[in-house]
Amino acid sequence: MTGTTVATGTAPAASSDQLPAAGGVPGDHDLAVRTDGLTKRFRSGQVAVDGLGLHVPRGSVYGFLGPNGSGKTTTIRMLLGLVRPTSGRAWLLDGAMPEAGATVLPRVGALVEGPAFHPYLTGRANLVRLDASDATADPRTSRRRTEDALERVGLSAAAAKPYRQYSLGMKQRLGLAAALLRPRELLVLDEPTNGLDPQGTREVRHLVRELADAGTTVLVSSHLLAEIEQVCTHIGIMSRGRLLLQGERQALTDRGTAHVGVTTSLAHVGAVAEVLTGLGLTEVTTDGPTLRALLASTPPEKISAAIVHAGLDLVGLEVTRPSLEQVFVALTGEGFDVAR
C-alpha cells in the first residue's frame, strides 16, 4: 500500500462544470487547479481550511506555502478526493472533484504526507507493482519506465535495497519516483524535500524546473518558504486555514517596501544624501560610504543618473525587496515556523 497517489484510468472528457472567470484571474481553461469557497471543518469544530479560492495557472510552478498546521495538506487531500470538503468546490484539470476523479486522476501524479511502500520489497519492486496497477500503462515498457523514474530521483544505486532499509530521504525520493512513472499534466507534491539533505533538495528543485519546462503544472506545498521561493513562478500563502494572498511570485514581493543602497566615496556621502532627498526618497541613512533609503516609486536608473550628473562618485547601487517570508510576517505578525 502506498501513500503516493498515482491514479489509473482512461483519459477524461472535459467537465461541463465551470466557474465564471474572476477579474484578474485566468479563465477556467487556463487553470490546472481551482477552488471556490473550499472549506473543511472537523467534528471537533476545528476549521482546517476556510473558504479557499485557489487558482493555479496551467504550466506554472505554484508554491503552496505556509507554516506547519496552516491547512496545506488538508487542502491537497480535498483536491485529490481523499477527503470530502464540508463545503465549496474544487476542480482539477477542468474536472469537478471528487466526482471526476476516475477520469482526472490518471493525468495527475502526487506525493502526499510522505510515501509508504511495502517494507520487504525493494525500491524497484515497489515501483513495478505500482506501474502494474495502472490500467493505462503498457506492460511491455514497464521496466524502462521504472528504471527511468529511479534514475531521475537518484535511486538507481539503491533500487535493489529493501524499502525498510531506506532512510527518510530515500523514502521521499521513491515517492517522487512513483509520481513520475508516467507523464502527468499536473504534479502535486506535499513537502517533497522532507528528509532530504541539501544536495537532495537542490536536485528536487532542478527536477521541478525540468518538469515545468516540459509543460507539467507543478503544485508544491512546503513550509520551507525560502527554499521553494527559488523555483516557483506563482505563490499562494496560507495561514490558519486561510489563503492570505496568491499571484505571480514577482508581483507578491514587489508589493513590499523596497530599499535602495548607494555606495559612494566618503567625501561624497553628504552630497549623495542631498541628491536622494531631492529625488523624494525618504528615511535616508548612512553607514560609512553606503547610504540606504526607501525606494518608493523612483526608478533606480534615475537615482544613478542623478548622482553621476551631479559629478559624484557612484561605486555601487543595489535595490533590495522583502522576501516572501518578510511579506508573510508583515501580513500576520507571525514567523513562518508557527503552527496551530
Instruction: Please state the rounded mean pLDDT for residues 105-132.
Output: 89
pLDDT grade for 201, boundaries at 50, 70 and 90? confident
pLDDT value at 62 more than 50: yes
If you write DSSP's letter for every residue of 72-125 in order, what string do you get? Answer: HHHHHHHHTTSS--SEEEEEETTEEETTTHHHHGGGEEEE-SS----TTSBHHH
- Mean of pLDDT values over 188-205: 84
pLDDT 10s digits, 281-312? 999 999 999 999 988 778 899 999 999 999 99
Is the separation of the CB atoms in 252 and 66 below 8 Å?
no
- How far apart (Å, rounded) are the C-alpha atoms in residues 134 and 156? 22
Q: Identify the weakest region by mean pLDDT among 14-28, 61-75, 131-145, 218-232.
A: 14-28
Q: Where are the domains of the chain?
A: 31-250, 257-320
Cell of 21: 472567470
Distance CA 77, CA 56 (A): 16
The sheet with strand 290-294 has its strands ordered as: 282-287, 290-294, 259-263, 316-320
Q: What CATH architecture is 257-320?
A: 2-Layer Sandwich (3.30)
Q: Is domain 31-250 given the CATH code 3.40.50.300 in the classification?
A: yes
Q: Which three cell numbers stand for residue 149?
A: 523514474
Average pLDDT, the chain: 84
Report the relative pairing of strands 55-57 and 290-294 from DSSP bridges.
Answer: unpaired
pTM (global) more than 0.95: no
Half-sphere exposure of 127 (CA within 13 A, CB side): 31
- Write out pLDDT tens, residues 166-183: 988 888 889 889 988 988
Name the pLDDT band for 223 (thresholds 50, 70, 90): confident
pLDDT for the residue 20: 32
Q: How many CB atoms lie within 10 A of CB 202?
A: 14
